[in-house]
Amino acid sequence: MTYKKPQEPVAISIRAKAHQRDLIDQAAERLGRSRSDFMLEASCREAEIILLEQTYFSLDTKDFAKLQTMLDNPLEPTERLNRLIQTKAPWE
């Protein structure tokens, strides 16, 4: 599926609960954007992520063997990686 930029704007209508609208409005205001701009940007960003995560690629036999070897024999963890793994996420 190929994304084609429309020539003219089209309407997208959705229903939301009041608390959802208020949350979106608060975030949009913080960024200095309109509700519509914020929602469109966030929706497109999420759509791109989903499509990229499901992108198909193919390898010839030789390259697939190389990939399989790398997956079967990962590099040893470095001190930097160990620190990263042990660091709590800001939201935890």
Output the CA torsion sign for 23, 24, 28, 34: negative
For residue 10, what are its two tokens?
């089209």
Which residue is associated with the tokens 């759509």? 47
pLDDT of 2: 65
At 55-72, the pLDDT tens digits run: 888 899 999 999 999 999
pLDDT of residue 79: 93
pLDDT of residue 1: 57
pLDDT tens digits along 20-58: 999 999 999 999 999 999 999 999 999 999 998 988 888
Intra-chain end-to-end CA distance of the chain, in Å: 38
Average pLDDT (2-26) is 88
**What is residue 56's predicted lDDT score, i.e. its pLDDT?**
83
